Every structure is written in C-alpha cells, then in structure tokens.
Amino acid sequence: MNTFGRIFRIHIFGESHGAGIGVCIDGCPAGIKIAEDDFVSDLARRRSGALGTTPRSESDEPKILSGIARGMATGSPIVVVFENQNIRSSDYADVSISPRPGHADYTSSRKYNGFNDLSGGGHFSGRITLGLVVAGVIAKKIIDPIKVEASVAEVGGLKDINAAVSAALAEQDSVGGIIEGRVSGCPIGLGEPFFDSVESMISHLLFSIPGVKAVEFGSGFAAARMRGSEHNDAIITAFGDTATNNAGGINGGISNGNEITFRLAVKPPSSIARPQQSYNFELCSVEEMRITGRHDACIALRIPVIAEAAAAIALADLNLIQLAGSIG
Amino acid sequence: MNTFGRIFRIHIFGESHGAGIGVCIDGCPAGIKIAEDDFVSDLARRRSGALGTTPRSESDEPKILSGIARGMATGSPIVVVFENQNIRSSDYADVSISPRPGHADYTSSRKYNGFNDLSGGGHFSGRITLGLVVAGVIAKKIIDPIKVEASVAEVGGLKDINAAVSAALAEQDSVGGIIEGRVSGCPIGLGEPFFDSVESMISHLLFSIPGVKAVEFGSGFAAARMRGSEHNDAIITAFGDTATNNAGGINGGISNGNEITFRLAVKPPSSIARPQQSYNFELCSVEEMRITGRHDACIALRIPVIAEAAAAIALADLNLIQLAGSIG
Amino acid sequence: MNTFGRIFRIHIFGESHGAGIGVCIDGCPAGIKIAEDDFVSDLARRRSGALGTTPRSESDEPKILSGIARGMATGSPIVVVFENQNIRSSDYADVSISPRPGHADYTSSRKYNGFNDLSGGGHFSGRITLGLVVAGVIAKKIIDPIKVEASVAEVGGLKDINAAVSAALAEQDSVGGIIEGRVSGCPIGLGEPFFDSVESMISHLLFSIPGVKAVEFGSGFAAARMRGSEHNDAIITAFGDTATNNAGGINGGISNGNEITFRLAVKPPSSIARPQQSYNFELCSVEEMRITGRHDACIALRIPVIAEAAAAIALADLNLIQLAGSIG
Amino acid sequence: MNTFGRIFRIHIFGESHGAGIGVCIDGCPAGIKIAEDDFVSDLARRRSGALGTTPRSESDEPKILSGIARGMATGSPIVVVFENQNIRSSDYADVSISPRPGHADYTSSRKYNGFNDLSGGGHFSGRITLGLVVAGVIAKKIIDPIKVEASVAEVGGLKDINAAVSAALAEQDSVGGIIEGRVSGCPIGLGEPFFDSVESMISHLLFSIPGVKAVEFGSGFAAARMRGSEHNDAIITAFGDTATNNAGGINGGISNGNEITFRLAVKPPSSIARPQQSYNFELCSVEEMRITGRHDACIALRIPVIAEAAAAIALADLNLIQLAGSIG
C-alpha cells in the first residue's frame, strides 16, 4: 500500500501524467520549522541535469496545501503537491500491448486489469519519488542533529563516474550504480525489533525506490566470507564506540551509536535507445521494439537524495516511537 | 514492533529463558488444514544438529492454544507456543557490564534501561525465530501452490560447506554464509507498491532475522555493473516468461510470474570460544573476554527454513491483499 | 491520527483557512467508475443552505489530483482536493486567549503548544468533513448494491424540525438533533471481531465527526431496560430474516443480513450569538464573550450525509477484508 | 481483526473451549512493575458470583509467558494466558443448525463457512474478555496517576439492581443494564483527531465488548435536546476547569482536563431458560428451542471492569502517542 510508518506516517500519491503528485505526512510534531525554501536543495539534487540524466525538465515547485502555518508544522497532516505540466499524454498507449522490457508495464496492467494509468509510467514513474524527497526533508528536521548522507560510490563498476556514463551513452545504452549511505549522530536505542529493526525499516523504504536491487548494512555480503573473530566489533570506549564497524552501527536491530552504514545497488534504467526484443500481446510474437524520447542513462545519479530520504523517514518514525516508550 | 502484516498478521513473542515463546497469527482464512504434525519438518530443519550448529537441544514441541479446531483454522487467531525448558538462568547476569561483541547486549540494555531480559539473549535470541517458522508453515499453506525454497549457497566463500565449517571450528571461530531463495508458481500481480513492493515486504522480514546483513533480488549487486541492454529481461511468451531473469521475478514491485529469486548474507555467529576484546563498563576499560558454553559455528546453516518462512509470510499477506482488491 | 482503514484506507487533511483540504484514498479497487459529477449530490447535501445552516458559501468544487483516469479508479491512491477561498484570516487570533466554550480552541492550543492553526477552527473545522463525504461517495460505489441512508430524526426533541430551528434562531441560540441511519442489502458476514466489529468500525468514524456525542445500534440504550425474551430476535426464514431487529442487523460484531440500524446524537453548535462566559487566560478571569459572524444554528441538519459516509467507509473496508479471507 | 492500538498494542486470542485464551501486549514501556497478583482484583470483579451471574467457575489463573522479568516489563511483548479447563465440549454441536437467538452462532458460522469453533461461543464467548481485563490492568499502570472507574448505574431501568435481577430470574429471563465510566486526572491533550479522537478510541473498544449496544460521552443523547447556551461548558479557572461538563471532558476529540464521562448500554443476555423461537436450518422451519445450562441473568454486572479496561487501553495508547509528538 502507499503508506509507511507508525507515528511519522507518509502517504504517497500521484501518477506521472495526472494532475499532480505529492505526499501526505501525518505525525510531524507541531512546531517544527518548515518553509517552502527548505525543499529546494534536496529537490535540486533529485532533479535531472547531470550527464546521464534526462534533459526533460519539470519545475518541481512544491505547493504546501496544509499542515504548515506561520512557517511551522501545526500538528495536523502536511500535504505537499507538485502539479504536473505535461498531463495525459497518449505516448504510452501501446505499452500494455508491447510492454517495455524491465518496466512495470506488464505487471501493473495485469495487476490492475488494465485500469492503471500507463502514461509516463503512471504511479510507477520515478517522478513519484518527489514525495519521498519532501518527506525526507521534514524527517531530517525531526531527527536533527542526526545527519544522513548518501552519495554515488561507483557506476558500472567504475569510480570514474563520468567515464562510465559517457561510455554507456555512446552505445545508446544505460548503466547501473552503487549508492553508499551514512548516518552520523544517531543515539543508541533506535529500532523496534523483532520486526521493525533499523535494517528492516530502512530496507523496506529503499526497496520501494524504483530500480533498487540490493541493500546491505555494514559488512553486508562480505560478512558471509568472514570469521566471527574478524567480524565482531569490539567496544572500546564508554560511549560505545567500536574498533571496527562491521555491524554498520546496528546490533540486534537497534542503533549502537556508531555510524550507520548501508549500500544499495541500482539497476541500469530500462529505457534505452538501442533496439530490444519485446513480446507483442496482440500479434502473439516476439518483435523488435525501439524506445524513443529522452531518458536517464544512469538513474543511480539521482538516487542519493532519495536514499537519504528513505533512511531519514525510517529513523524519524523510530525516533518518535522510542520517545513513546521512554516513560518506564 | 513485534507485528508484521496487514491481513495475514503475525505477532512474535517470548524470551529465550522465559516461560515460553511463540507466535499469534491473525487473518488465517478459516478452513485451512493445519495439524501439529505439519510443523515437524520445518522445525527440524531449523533445529540444531548439523556440523557447526549448537549441540544443545530443546524439544521444540509446538502447542496450539487457539485458532485450530478439528484440524482446521477456525478464522480466529492461531496461537502456537513453545515452552522453554531451561528458564531464568543467571548465566547472563554480567553481559550488561561486559557486553559480548556483536550481540545485542549493549544496545538492548540501553534501549530498555536495563529492564530487558538478558538471559540467553532474551527477546534477541535466535530461538525467537521458532515463531517465524510456525507462521511460515501456515503461510505456505495459504499460498499453495506457490512454492518457496531456500538453501545454503556457500559458507565462508566456499561451496564445500563442511570444509568451511570444520576449518572455523578448528580455530574456535565461526563463519558466515549465503542463502539463496526461490519462489516458483507465483502468479502475476502480487505486490502493493509504492511502499509494499514484493522486495520491501520480503526484505523487511529477512532483515528482522538475527544475523542477516544483506539482501538482494534477481541480479542484485551485480546490476550495478550491468548495462540496460544486458539487464532488461525480454518477455518471450504469452505467459510472460522472460529470456533472462535479472528482475528476479519482480517488476515495479509486482510479481511478473517468473521465479522470484533472492539471496541473503548471514554474518558469522558472534559467540566464539576464542578470546575477544570487550569493554567493561564497571571498570571503564577494555579487557579480554571469553565466551564459554556451546554455540553455533555457522548459524547460516539454520537460516534457509527461516528465510523461506519470511518469503512465505510476505507473499501470504500480499496474496490476501490482492484478493481484497479484485472486485473492480 | 488522520488515517482510517486497513485495506480501504482514507487519510484526511487540511485546515479551514489553509490552501486546501481534502482526502487521500488508498485501496480503492481498480476499475470502479468515478466521475467528478458523482460527488455533486452528496456534497450538496452537506453544504449549507437550509434554515439553520450557515449562509456563508464555499463552492466546494472537488479537484481530482490522482488515482482516476478515463473515468475509472486506476488502483493507485485517489486524492481529491478542495481549495479554500478565504485563506489565512486573522479573525481567530485571540481564541487561544479567550477560548470559545465548546470548541477545540483550548484543547488544541494546549496539545500542539500553540502551533496549531486556529483560523476558522483549523483542522477542527467542520469543513474537514468534506473529505469524508468524498470518501463516502467512493465507498458507496465499492459496497454497491448495499445502500446506506441517513436522515434527521428530530431536532431539539421535536419531529417538526423547522419549528425547533426557528425557535433557537429567535433566541440567538443553537440546537442539537438526532440522526438515524439504515444500511440495507448488507450480506451476512461483514465485521472482523474481536476488535473490528461492525459497531466498532462505524462508531469509530461517527465519533470522529465534530459534535457527535452518542451512538447506538439497534435497540441501543433501550436494550438496558429490556428482558432477554423481548430483546432476542428470532430468525424466521432460511435467509436469516428476523422477526424483530433489536440487534440492529449485527450479532457478535458481524452483519446478519438484516437492516443495520444506528442512531447518533449531535450537540447544539457551540458558536452562538448570545453572550457567553469564557475564561481569559491573559487577564486570568472569567469574562463575557460574544461570538460574531454567521454560524450554523443546527449542525445536525448537515450530518446525515456525513454519517452515511462514515458507515459506507467502514463497510467498504470490512467488505474488502472479508474478500481477502474468502479463500479457505 | 484482533489487534487494537498503535503503540500500546493488544492482540486478543482464544476460544471458549480451546486450550487457552489470552492476550499479547506489545509496546508496554520497559520498567513498569507488573506482578501476577496485580491481576487478581480486576479478574475477581469480572468473574461470576454475584446474583444474576453464572455460577460456573473457572479458576481464571493468569500465566505470564513472556515480557515480564524480575517483576517488571522487559520491553518485549507481554503474553498472559488462561488455560481452559473444560475443553472441546460437544454441547454446542447443533447451534449452527438451530442458531440461538441473539448469539453469534448464525453470523459466525456463515462468515467462517462453518469452520469456526462454536463450542461455548468459541471466539465469541464473553470469556475472551479476560484478555481485555489483563491488558486493562497493565494500561492502568501506564496511565497512572490517571484513574478509570466504572460501575453499574441501573439494571432493567432500576437503581435497585438486586430487585431487577431477582425479578428477571423469577421469570427465567435476563435483563440489561447501564454502566457509567469516569476518568479522573487525565491531562489536557490526549486524543489524536481527526480519526483517533478520545471518543473514537474508547467507543471502538467498548463496542467490541459482547452485548454493548450504545455508547455516549458527557451529555450524550441528551445533547440532542439541548440548546447551545445550555450545552456549552464555560471555562472558569486557569486550569481549564469548566462550570458544567456536558463535553464529558473532551473537546474536538482531545481531553480537556476535566473528568471524562461515558455511559454504555448492555443488552440482556441472549441465553435464557424460557422457551424461544428459532429457525431450524435442517428442517427449514421455525421451532421452539430451550437453552439449558446455567447462564448470566445480567451480564451488565460483570461489565464495569471490562469497560474500565477499554478506557484505560485507549488512553494508554493515546498517552504514548502524545509523548511521541512532544519534541516539537
């Protein structure tokens, strides 16, 4: 469903080519300072523009409908909407007949019996993540002074990211990448095991971002090849600092005060200019398909700010839940 | 919190050395056939016994308290309890003073202000996963004929698993491993994006299993090094079969009818016989610690059936939610 | 919080004098036919105009932001917004100093530490119920052919409702009333006890409507004076029809196929032109207060369509949950 | 479903004649003192014994399975179980053929396709409320020093309760009653409108109690006959005390610091010794039925402690949620 969280609750809505998309945020404590300008920086990081990102531009102007007055959260739900400028295009009319490989055309058409809005990817468009970024900005304010930062670690296996993107573009192709995230200043004690461990909450949100194929914390997949004597992080100070951080700042699903670290893999965008094979459900045969228009060659470049939002949203909720349990 | 799911809802409870542990399962459709014998096989797979697993044995006898009559689900909550035989030991009295590296001793003591039950790991004991296995058995019945299977792919980087465990044991050490899961027979259309994608739901549960550090679907981390032309799965039949399965059976968070594939990394167990460094919060200094008793050298060996349970529970819930939306 | 429902989930937002108010509806099955015109009739019933209702008029024009394409639900969240025309008035600046008796001025100021938007009642304005009416229209479509109808049964103790309102108006006063609701065509089996009985779900929503002080089902308070021999409804047909309907169509929290009947009491509006006593928190003394402007003399007249919405929303959710459980 | 609450979450389970019934309580803050003895007094109030209550006795011995160690909540789920002594009786085999008037026999059989456990009312037995009482005891500790008290106000329309019960018994009949509840010491600010108003939360729980037909707060149904000038409660002190309390301690769904007052109507028990009409679904005709065995003549006598539990549980959850929002 389109809701996440227990106390800090976010509801995502919108379709790529509908009237607007946005987010409804419940549970933001009253008095948090929020101005429309606060969204500018993170929205800009998400927006296209860099090499390898789609040159199509939307203004991405957030409009606050409710929940903020005199520059502060009122305690009632915050709704922020982005109007779509290019509405109801019919460019996508035939994607249910010839589903684009790697896209949700086929699965969403079947799930919703053809009633879903396929234009521009509909509710499956990456554009939906605008709402996540907005919620992330507010979440970051709630968890302050905890800081969440994410960046691109590599693209196509290379640290030289421009080179990797250029190579892919030259071949009318796209390329994947890896994002690294770090949370500093997190107090000891966030996380609600058994089910709502820090990892469970963050991964739940990360895996809702279109294109994410893998998530790891701390040592991650490398842990599978390690010995316990090597993997165990020895506590070395009275503040709980550890000599190593294979745990990625989390033990038993609960933050341990050290930096929370995570990595995620983003697949190469599915829309490529090169001809591809696709099944035509009208002709009942495989045929060649060409996807026209301009698209991201490397969506991973736009993911860091969304990954930050995911982590911040999860931690904001866990933070508020932890407060609720602090009367014992 | 200790609840997961929207319609098929499970509530995990219990501490390692309390009176009992178990699970409360709400939302199981009435009429599903369930006998106590049905749990035997999966519980045996979880239980210790193989090389590298702890020789301590609990009978693991499930006792059905409610929700099943005449061998069938009644429609009211199913509660299954396992009594603990070794209750209230005080072996663990000092783990809050000298927290064992890699364990939840330190984080849980801080989170719960010292009131948590540390005996045997308390609510953080791997023993809690008994409830997951029970819920998994019931979930598998609900999703039938969908089949979920998981197995150990490698331990310590080796396919020869016995060799890897023996080597670790010889050095009084422990070792991690990788589990692979496959879901076959899944219909097209399960998954509730934006937030409750198939990946989000399964990863949420997998990351609640103690020791899991990484989760990937389909191409996983390898996707980050791939080109779109290589990663896109071409549909080649009218049933939606794809030529490759980099998507791992999921597009846009929705099952596409192909095999759902996932992998997870399990860290080496934290309890090792070798001496380790730990911080003593009474003496305010780092000192050597030895963990006595018998422990798993490779917990990964016991995880496959738990990973199956996680996937089955997520799919059971998504399956029932999908039914609810099918009246349009 | 501002969310209700498990599968058919609604999220209410907005403040009286903010940019807009509305509702986000998740879980509406794809394919349900919905046009903007469908809201006209129920919105008109809610709107002011009759004797005793406020003459201030807002256009109440619903704007669909998402979730509907080509006249049908797409399966993704439906957001409907009403823009507010008179925004950010400062008429209410002093209600936190001299709280209006019977209003939420005092409690909301304290709860939200003064950060809540008091203008026009803010999130506590009756205007917020616009979103409920919209969700009710969609819920009625989902539960079709179940029919929900509510009407004013009495005002100020009189069946002659105009007389009661006129009398109150003549004395610059307001008056309360009773609403009766009936649900016909409801199949046997809706309701999810233990906690989510039909009564629990409907009353939860009814008691969220500003001004509702009491809710009863079937025999209601009269049951307290009845004998079992008189109260028991004998089943008299193979379809489950009963000779009497003291149960109000519900047994054990589950619909029994007979008409579901309920009644609710609505208090007299708190805003009256007559002078009243109020505490001035700046002067620290009780003083006389006069509330100016035009207000409803009898809000009960506008409640029936909102009560219908409440019942329809509860039944839509229970209906979808019941579908989910039907595979046993 | 069988879950209630957002942070303080309770899960009810069990059937009258299954192995056991009980409750799983999540979200109880660690460190709250809880001993098995704490349950004695409230369980005794719920138990049969008074004139008009069933003479059948169960020991009602609570057994703590988890979540409490060294006399204090550990922070993990608390499970309390009551073993049933008379299990799997077959006395109720034919209630699906000839459903007892007023009971859930007919509705539950249809809802669960005959798979539900009808013995002793199964999951619909009043015995299930044992779990509510246990959760109520813990909730009262969480909300301390807030006090919740409920008592029988009248039975069969009489204040002389013994007389009313005796009269009903003499005629082999049963009789209904009214319960009054009062919450004192409640701080200003509990309640989470729009949907989770204090009234919505308490009524949700009260209407899940078998036999409750009506709930009102403050002036309740009488409000419908009142004028605004009469109904409005003037604030008369700097602490928010009001001259009257028609609001029942709640404005805009939020507690205002005055006593919270509510009343509920309980129907006469459906099981009466007098012959009744019932439909026989095998013979397809109405016929006379006699219910044997011993039953409550006035279940209302046992409801006060359950109503207290309902109010305390709702307030405990609202209290913890309010804490979570207090960082603004």
C7-21, C257-271, D90-104: segment of lowest average pLDDT = D90-104
DSSP state of C235: B
Confidence of residue B325 (pLDDT cuts 50, 70, 90): confident
Compute the distance between CA of residue B265 and CA of residue B268 in angstroms, rounded to an integer: 10
pLDDT at A271: 93
DSSP for A137-202, written as a single string: HHHHHHHTT-EEEEEEEEETTBS-HHHHHHHHHHTT--B-EEEEEEEESPPTT--BTTTB-HHHHH
D15, D24, D76: residue with CB nearest B74:
D15
pLDDT, tens digit (0-9, with 9 covering 90-100), for A199-231: 999 999 999 999 999 999 999 999 999 999 999
Which residues contact residue B148 at a Cβ distance below 8 angstroms, ignoring those fewer than 6 apart?
A: B140, B181, B182, B183, B308, B311, B312, B315
Contact between chains at D81 and B65 (C-beta distance less than 8 A): yes
The verdict on B321 touching C (C-beta cutoff 8 Å) is: yes
**Chain C neighbors of A65, CB-CB under 8 A:** 13-14, 18-22, 81
Contact between chains at D116 and B74 (C-beta distance less than 8 A): yes
Confidence of residue A90 (pLDDT cuts 50, 70, 90): low
Assess contact for C227 and C159: CB atoms under 8 A: no
C4-13, C42-51, C81-90, C207-216: segment of lowest average pLDDT = C81-90
Q: Report the residue of A66, A72, A88, A116 to disrupt the C interface, i.e. the one with the largest count of C CBs within 10 Å.
A: A66
DSSP for B61-91, written as a single string: --EEEESEETTEE-SSPEEEEEE-SS-S--T
pLDDT at D95: 81
Compute the distance between CA of residue B176 and CA of residue A223 in angstroms, rounded to an integer: 6
pLDDT at A326: 72
The length of chain B in residues reads 328
Distances (CA, A) of C222 to A3, C193, C270, D127, D219: 41, 24, 28, 25, 17
What rounded mean pLDDT belongs to chain B?
A: 92
- How far is D82 from chain B, CA to nearest CA, in Å? 10
Compute the distance between CA of residue D180 and CA of residue D53 in angstroms, rounded to an integer: 19
| ∠ CA A10-A12-A15, rounded to 5° | 175
pLDDT, tens digit (0-9, with 9 covering 90-100), for B170-194: 999 999 999 999 999 999 999 999 9
pLDDT at C58: 62
Contact between chains at C29 and B142 (C-beta distance less than 8 A): no
Compute the distance between CA of residue D267 and CA of residue D265 in angstroms, rounded to an integer: 7
Of A104, A127, A273, A118, nearest in space to B228 by CA: A273
Alpha helices in chain D (DSSP H): 40-46, 105-111, 129-143, 161-170, 198-206, 228-231, 304-324
Q: Is the dihedral of CA B1, B4, B6, B11 positive or negative?
A: negative
pLDDT at D230: 97
In the numeric block, the tokens 């009845």 are attached to C226
Compute the distance between CA of residue D149 and CA of residue D304 in angstroms, rounded to an integer: 8
pTM, to two decimals: 0.97
Residue A312 has pLDDT above 80, yes or no: yes
**Chain A neighbors of D142, CB-CB under 8 A:** 327
Q: Which amino acid is at C305?
A: V
A66-80, A198-212, C108-122, D196-210: segment of lowest average pLDDT = C108-122
pLDDT at B91: 54
The verdict on B3 touching D (C-beta cutoff 8 Å) is: yes
Confidence of residue A112 (pLDDT cuts 50, 70, 90): very high
- Closest residue in D to C326 (Cα) is D112
CB atoms within 10 A of CB A282: 9
pLDDT, tens digit (0-9, with 9 covering 90-100), for C68-105: 999 999 999 999 999 988 665 555 557 888 999 999 99
The interface pTM score, or ipTM, of the predicted complex is 0.96
- How far is D234 from chain A, CA to nearest CA, in Å? 26
Pairing, β D9-14 against β A212-217: unpaired
Mean pLDDT to the nearest integer, A128-155: 97
pLDDT at B16: 81
pLDDT at C187: 97
Contact between chains at B266 and A223 (C-beta distance less than 8 A): yes
Q: Report the residue of B16, B23, B100, B107 to disrupt the A interface, i.e. the one with the largest count of A CBs within 10 Å.
A: B107
- Closest residue in D to A193 (Cα) is D76
Indicate left, alpha or beta for D52 from its phi (over 0: left) and psi (-120 to 50: alpha).
Answer: left
What rounded mean pLDDT belongs to chain C?
A: 92
Contact between chains at A32 and D328 (C-beta distance less than 8 A): yes
Q: Which amino acid is at C92?
A: Y
Which CATH superfamily, name and number, covers D3-317? Chorismate synthase AroC (3.60.150.10)
Interface of B with C in 17-56 (CB under 8 A): 27, 29-32
Specify the 3-state DSSP secondary structure of B4: strand
Q: Is the dihedral of CA C30, C33, C37, C40 positive or negative?
A: negative
**Chain A neighbors of B152, CB-CB under 8 A:** none
DSSP for A13-63, written as a single string: EE-TTSSEEEEEEE-PPTT-B--GGGGHHHHHHHSS-STTS---------E
Specify the 3-state DSSP secondary structure of C311: helix
The verdict on D323 touching A (C-beta cutoff 8 Å) is: yes
Distances (CA, A) of B197 to A208, B193, B318, C26, D14: 6, 5, 9, 15, 33
Domain ranges in chain D are 3-317
Contact between chains at A74 and C112 (C-beta distance less than 8 A): yes
Of C162, C163, C158, nearest in space to C177 by CA: C158
Mean pLDDT to the nearest integer, C216-232: 98
Mean pLDDT to the nearest integer, C97-115: 92
pLDDT at D87: 61
- The percent of residues in chain A predicted with pLDDT above 70, rounded, is 95
Compute the distance between CA of residue D211 and CA of residue D310 in angstroms, rounded to an integer: 14
Interface of B with A in 263-292 (CB under 8 A): 265-272, 274, 276-279, 281, 284, 286
Mean pLDDT to the nearest integer, C179-203: 97
CB atoms within 10 A of CB A8: 28
DSSP state of C258: S
Compute the distance between CA of residue C83 and CA of residue A64 in angstroms, rounded to an integer: 12
- Over its length of 328 residues, how does chain D's per-residue pLDDT go in tens digits? 899 999 999 999 998 878 899 999 999 999 999 998 999 999 999 986 667 776 556 678 999 999 999 999 999 999 999 998 866 555 555 788 899 999 999 999 999 988 988 777 787 888 899 999 999 999 999 999 999 999 999 999 999 999 999 999 999 999 999 999 999 999 999 999 999 999 999 999 999 999 999 999 999 999 999 999 999 999 999 999 999 999 999 999 999 999 999 999 999 999 999 999 999 999 999 999 988 877 889 999 999 999 999 999 999 999 999 998 776 4
pLDDT, tens digit (0-9, with 9 covering 90-100), for C47-74: 866 677 765 566 789 999 999 999 999 9
pLDDT at D266: 98
Confidence of residue B43 (pLDDT cuts 50, 70, 90): very high
Q: Which amino acid is at C26?
A: D
pLDDT at D92: 56
C43-57, C170-184, C271-285: segment of lowest average pLDDT = C43-57
Confidence of residue A162 (pLDDT cuts 50, 70, 90): very high
- How far is B47 from chain A, CA to nearest CA, in Å? 20
B145-154, C101-110, C132-141: segment of lowest average pLDDT = C101-110
B235-249, C110-124, D189-203, D303-317: segment of lowest average pLDDT = C110-124
| Per-residue tokens: C277 | 């006593």
- The percent of residues in chain B predicted with pLDDT above 70, rounded, is 95
Name the burial class of residue B234, with classes exposed (0-12), middle (13-18) and buried (19+) by CB atoms within 10 angstroms of its CB. middle
Mean pLDDT to the nearest integer, B240-267: 98
Look at A49 and A133; give whichever has higher pLDDT: A133
Q: How far is CA A274 from the centre of its chain?
A: 27
A-to-B residue pairs, Cβ atoms closer than 8 angstroms: 372
Assess contact for C45 and C305: CB atoms under 8 A: yes
pLDDT at B51: 75
